[in-house]
Structure 1
């Protein structure tokens, strides 16, 4: 078969170029440490690598979300723990103020200490994270969530929003504790109604519980209890008589309109008190009211004052339970986040192991191939040089 000079040159050039390309590819693999740098290196492996990288990207985002949620919840849980400690201290101060041997000056000192604790508690409720966002504002993180209005009532400017962090496919966990859950929505210590005792009270009694026992027949209203002689009369907000308990016995609960009221002690004839529907109470309001009562020397040692303090102690206990509940929510969420983080980290290890098998370079094998390719390239170049110098005139 006749081979033209052009054909010979073309074949030799293709051979040298191919060897150079193969050598260059191995050099690139050695420099990157990867066996597959482009889809052309190994199409099947490249598809698997792309799939695993996408999975790792998703897992990385889950882990970032978990870190964000853990950071906020850890701070919130710590703040709520401090708040619970303060609330416990306030309870002890209220019990100390009940001591009849204290002077007005002593009680004022106790009230001042309680006011300092209340200010600390308010500062905790208005805590910010490292970015300057309010921790306990719900979705409203840009403005202060808590303050006292002109009447001395605690006002919550936040909402009940819980910001959900996606921590796994189809799974979210709340990354914050709303302020109303922690500081405002404590269950009423008496049940479903709060009691207002009158300064004219002379009998030694207080309401032990006031609960809705039959929601179907319950009529929410403000009720007035009057001790008329030996009978207990109950009137609604229109002053209409709801029920009259003749020969009232405090050992027997008073039931009306789906409500059951238990008294500890018996009102004296002429005593009255009112009761309004309030299934939830605010810890901040309760402490503020306790301070005002302790600072009033004309009321704190009266039967009405003692009854109010008993109710406030119940509500402080309920507020402390609410703080513990909110803290428990944060703790459970943190535990779940740790579990999801561990699962994702294990998944990353598996994915990275599979990636390593698909794309990592075997350096010993690659160096051997490089030496073989260099020898082949040198041989092809040498042959091309020799063949390229051959001329028919050399043989004439």
Structure 2
């Protein structure tokens, strides 16, 4: 079979170019450290590499979200822990102030300490994060959550929104605790009604609880209780008689309009008090009430003052439980994001290991292959130079 000079030339050129291409590919691999640089190098491996890179990108985003959530939750949990400790110390201050051996000046000093504690608690509730956003204002991060109103009461200016962060596919966790959840809406220590005692109280009694036991029969109102002789009369806000407990015995609760009221101790004739519906209380209002009671020397050790103190202590305990519960919410979510972070780290490690198997270059094998290809290229080039210069006239 005759082979033309042009055909032989083209075949030689093709061989040289193929060897150059193979050598160039290995050089690219050596320079990048990857054995798959384009989809053409290995289409199946390239598809797997792309999928793994997408998974790692998603995991990295989750980890960034978790870092943000961890910072906010840790900050919230820490400040709520400080608030819980502070309110616990306020309870001790209240108990110290009602000591009968204290003078009026001594009690005023305790009241001043409690005022400082109240200001400190307010400062904690108005804490900002490193970005200048309020921690406990819900969605309204640029609004100071707690401030004094015109009446001198501390009110909540935020909302009850929970800012959520995606920490895994289909999983979101709250990264904040709204201020009303932490400080404003503690369960009333008495139940569903608060008690208003009168300075004229003589009997050593207090209300243990005032609860709604039958919502279907419940009629919201302010009810007054008056001891008339040996009987206890209950009237509504219109002074209409609701019920009379004849020969009242505090062992038995007073039941009316779906409400049950239990007393500890027996009022004397003429004693009176009232109850107003209030299912939740603010720890700020509770501490303010305690300060007012302690600052009034005419109330501290009176029957009315002691009854009011019992209600205040119940509400302080309820406030501590509320702050503790809010702290637990932040702590539980913090524990959850740490768990998800660990899971993502493991997933990223597995993905990276699989990615390495698909695309990382075995340098020893690549260098050996490079030397082989270089040797082949040199051989082909040498043959081509000799064949390319061959002419029939050299043999004539």
Which residue of structure 2 aligns with residue 383 of structure 1? 383
Per the alignment, in what secondary structure is the counterpart of residue 247 of structure 2?
Answer: coil
Cα distance in 1 for partners of 2:68, 2:232 equals 58
Aligned-partner SS, 2:142: coil
Output the CA distance in 2 between the equivalents of 1:150 and 1:121.
Answer: 20
Q: 1:251 & 1:154 partners in 2: Cα distance?
A: 38
Q: Distance in 1 between matches of 2:226 and 2:307?
A: 16
Q: Which residue of 1 aligns with 2:27?
A: 27
Find the counterpart in structure 2 of residue 130 from structure 1: 130
Give the Cα–Cα distance (whole angstroms) in 2 for the partners of residues 152 and 85 of structure 1: 25
The whole-number CA distance in structure 2 between the counterparts of 1:2 and 1:118 is 107
Match of 1:287?
287
Asked whether 1:251 is paired with 2:251, we answer: yes
Deviation at 1:143, TM superposition (A): 1.2
Counterpart residue number, 2:392: 392
Deviation at 1:299, TM superposition (A): 2.3
Q: Distance in 2 between matches of 1:332 and 1:363?
A: 48
Distance 1:148 1:314 in 2: 24
Is structure 2 residue 362 aligned with structure 1 residue 365? Answer: no
Any conservation in 2 of the 1:152–1:288 contact (CA below 8 Å)?
no
Q: Secondary structure at the match of 2:152?
A: coil
1:178 CA drift (Å): 1.0
Tell me, in whole angstroms, the C-alpha distance in 1 between the residues paired with 2:340 and 2:347: 10
Q: What are the Cα deviations for residues 186-222 of structure 1, in whole angstroms up to 9, with x where unaligned?
A: 1100111001111222222111111111122111211
What's the CA shift for 1:149? Answer: 1.4
- Deviation string 1:86-117 (CA, Å, 9 cap, x unpaired) is 00100000001111121111111000000111
Q: 2:240, 2:41 → 1: CA distance?
A: 92
Q: What is the alpha-carbon distance in structure 1 between the residues aligned to residue 365 and residue 73 of structure 2? A: 51
Q: Could you tell me which residue of structure 2 aligns to residue 170 of structure 1?
A: 170
- 3-state SS of 1:260 partner: strand
Where does structure 1 lack aligned partners over 5 or more consecutive residues? none
Asked if residue 211 in structure 1 is aligned to residue 211 in structure 2, the reply is yes
Cα distance in 2 for partners of 1:337, 1:179 equals: 22
Superposed CA RMSD in Å reads 1.2
The 10-residue stretch of structure 1 (331-340 or 175-184) with the greater mean CA deviation from structure 2 = 331-340
Kindly provide the CA deviation profile for residues 132-159 of structure 1, in whole angstroms up to 9, marking residues without a partner as x. 1111111111111011212222211111
Whether 1:40 and 2:35 are equivalent positions in the alignment is no
Shift of 1:391: 2.2
- Matches of 1:176 and 1:7, distance apart in 2: 78
Match of 2:340 in 1: 340
Cα distance in 2 for partners of 1:12, 1:158 equals 81
1:138-149 → structure 2 map (5 Å cutoff): 138-149=138-149
SS in 2 for 1:119: helix
CA deviation string 1:315-364 (max 9, x = no partner):
00000011111111111112222221221111111111111111111111
Give the Cα–Cα distance (whole angstroms) in 2 for the partners of residues 84 and 313 of structure 1.
15
3-state SS of 1:182 partner: helix
Q: Distance in 2 between matches of 1:64 and 1:119?
A: 36
1:92 paired with 2:92, answer yes
1:192 matches 2:200? no
Partner of 1:263: 263
Q: C-alpha displacement at 1:4, in angstroms?
A: 2.9
Give me the whole-angstrom Cα distance separating, in 2, the residues matched to 1:235 and 1:2.
Answer: 127
Shift in Å at residue 245 of structure 1? 0.7
Alignment partners' CA distance in 1, 2:6 and 2:135: 80
TM-score between both structures, scaled by the size of structure 1: 0.97
Q: CA deviation at 1:172?
A: 1.3
The residue number in structure 2 matching 1:349 is 349
**Cα distance in structure 2, aligned partners of 1:101 and 1:238:** 43
Deviation at 1:17, TM superposition (A): 1.4
- The separation in 2 between residues aligned to 1:376 and 1:235, in whole angstroms, is 110
Q: Is the 8 A contact 1:226 1:272 kept in 2?
A: yes
Q: Which residue of 1 aligns with 2:2?
A: 2
How many residues are treated as equivalent by the alignment? 396
CA distance in 1, matches of 2:6, 2:305: 116
1:255 Cα deviation (Å)?
0.7
